Amino acid sequence: MTKVIVGMSGGVDSAVAAYLLKKDGYEVEGLFMRNWDSLVNNDVSGNPNLGNDICPQEQDYNDALEACRILDIPLHRVDFVKEYWDYVFTYFLNELKKGRTPNPDLLCNKYIKFDLFKKEAKKLGADYIATGHYARCKDNRLLRGLDKNKDQSYFLAMISREQLEHVLFPVGELEKKEVRKIAEEAKLNVAEKKDSTGICFIGERNYQSFLKNYLKPNPGPILNVETKEQIGIHTGLMNYTIGQRRNVGISGDENRHYVCGKDVEKNILYVAFGDSEYLYSDMCTLEDVNFISKERPKECTAKFRYRGEDYPVSLEYIDDTNIKVSYPEKVKAVTPGQACVFYLGEECLGCGIIKEIYKDGEKLFYL
């Protein structure tokens, strides 16, 4: 019998993935990953409502354990806290220090879920691994999930073609509402459990309060990008991202002002008012480029953020890990540190990390 180790997160998607695989006749076992030590999540804000259970991994483990009991499959547990810190969280902090906006989920998939997890699963005798991602895999090609609102191929774009081997995505052919319905019919304990949002190690806490544990606040001036007049004090450039409107730290209508740039050397945050002309660009450069597909197209579509729309782009290959991306339709809030993910129709080709932004031939001053 073919053995599949399912990454059990304590959520409904992975539980249904395990259920479907068992129903299809596979020998199924679960494996729960502990990637973050919630005891280091002490909040420095003094808010008594933000305790040590902000990233409730133990609750997730208990939910996964109960789901496996209902499914009558064993659940193993593995600790990747050190590896997550070394490969994901350290990168996250270093990117913030550069004034960029990183996406740690891509690195978690690359280094933890589809590398260390896969190796651990092989120790348990796995022929395949499976996760609850809304994505599809066919002939080692990564495809979008059928549910366009839940498609998670964006977060998988940094893994390699080899890492896709012997991987199953059982819910990738389903819509979320179907997954919920299956969970209810199977009487799974997580059928109505809410989806997790945001970054696990931050949880529901205040983002800026969390970062104070690791990065020293460095306040500086907020300048009007047009007049260069100081209009406020920012709490540290790592706390802001391009296009941000809320909690910028200046008075006025949040619908009229937005973060449009950073000067890391001078520790300046730039804010624009009125229309959003400062947010648009028509070209960017990428670094750390990764291709899953064997295709190296000169033209395709790209997403510049999760849940963003697809834009037609032209690719100019500088070298193996650097690409220049041009987009005739100017795109709003392309942000250094985020991933630009390439697609050809349903296939996710890979991605690169946004490095520099240009408009009309001039480099924008985001960094």
Q: pLDDT of 244-286, one tens digit each?
A: 998 898 877 666 899 999 999 999 999 999 878 889 999 999 9
pLDDT for 50 beyond 70: no
Give the CATH number for residue 151: 3.40.50.620
pLDDT of amino acid 291? 97
Instruction: Pull the structure tokens for residue 338.
Output: 């985020």
Residue 296 and residue 225 share a domain: no
Number of domains present in the structure of the chain: 3
- The pLDDT of residue 56: 65
Residue 29 to residue 48: CA distance in whole angstroms: 39
**What local confidence, expressed as pLDDT, does residue 28 receive?**
98
Same domain? For 181 and 246 the reply is no
CATH number at residue 247: 2.30.30.280
Same domain, 92 and 166: yes
Catalytic residue among 108, 260, 300, 348: 108
The more confident residue out of 202 and 140 is 140
- Based on the fold, state whether residues 242 and 325 are members of the same structural domain: no
Q: What is the rounded average pLDDT of the residues 289-318?
A: 96
pLDDT digit string, tens, across residues 207-227: 888 888 999 989 999 999 999
Q: Is residue 194 part of a domain?
A: no
| Per-residue pLDDT, 254 | 66
* Integer Cα distance of 139 and 339 in angstroms: 24
Q: How confident is the model at residue 40 (pLDDT cuts 50, 70, 90)?
A: low
CB 249 within 8 A of CB 223: no
Mean pLDDT for the stretch of residues 280-298: 96
Amino acid (1-letter code) at residue 308? G
pLDDT in tens, 88-139: 999 999 999 999 999 999 999 999 999 999 999 999 999 999 999 999 999 9
Same domain for 111 and 245?
no
- Mean pLDDT, rounded, for 148-161: 97
Query: 359: domain range?
Result: 278-363
Under a CB-based contact definition with an 8 Å cutoff, are residues 31 and 6 in contact? yes
Tokens linked to 241 = 């991202």
| Residues contacting 99, CB < 8 A, separation 6+ | 237, 238, 262, 264, 336, 367
Q: Let me know whether 321 and 359 are in one domain.
A: yes
Of 36-45, 300-309, 312-321, least confident by mean pLDDT is 36-45
Least confident of 195-204, 244-253, 303-312: 195-204
Q: Which of the four pLDDT bands, split at 50, 70 and 90, describes residue 41?
A: low
Residue 317 counted as domain residue = yes
Separation in Å, CA 38 to CA 55, 81, 82, 201, 358: 6, 10, 13, 7, 40
pLDDT at position 46 over 70: no
Asked if residue 175 and residue 104 are part of one domain, the reply reads yes
- At residue 364 the predicted structure's pLDDT band, cuts being 50, 70 and 90, is confident
Instruction: Please indicate, yes or no, if residue 191 is contained in any of the structural domains.
Output: no
* Whether residues 175 and 65 fall in one domain: yes
The domain boundary residue, chosen from 165, 185, 205: 185
Whether the predicted pLDDT of 54 surpasses 70? no
Q: Does 340 qualify as catalytic in the annotation?
A: no
Contact in structure between 30 and 73 (CB atoms under 8 Å): yes
Tens-place pLDDT, residues 155-184: 999 999 999 999 999 999 999 999 999 999
At residue 210, the pLDDT reads 86
Please give the pLDDT value at position 247: 87
> Left, alpha or beta for 207 (phi > 0: left; psi -120 to 50: alpha)?
alpha
Which of 192-206, 246-260, 274-288, 344-358 holds the top average pLDDT? 344-358
Residue tagged active-site, from 55, 68, 137, 200 = 200
The answer to whether residues 160 and 137 touch, using CB atoms and an 8 Å cutoff, is no
Q: Confidence band (pLDDT; 50, 70, 90) for 39?
A: low
In the prediction, which pLDDT does 44 show? 40
Higher pLDDT, 19 or 58: 19
- The per-residue pLDDT of the chain, averaged, comes to 91
200 in a structural domain: no
108 is known as an active-site residue: yes
Position 344 pLDDT exceeds 90: yes
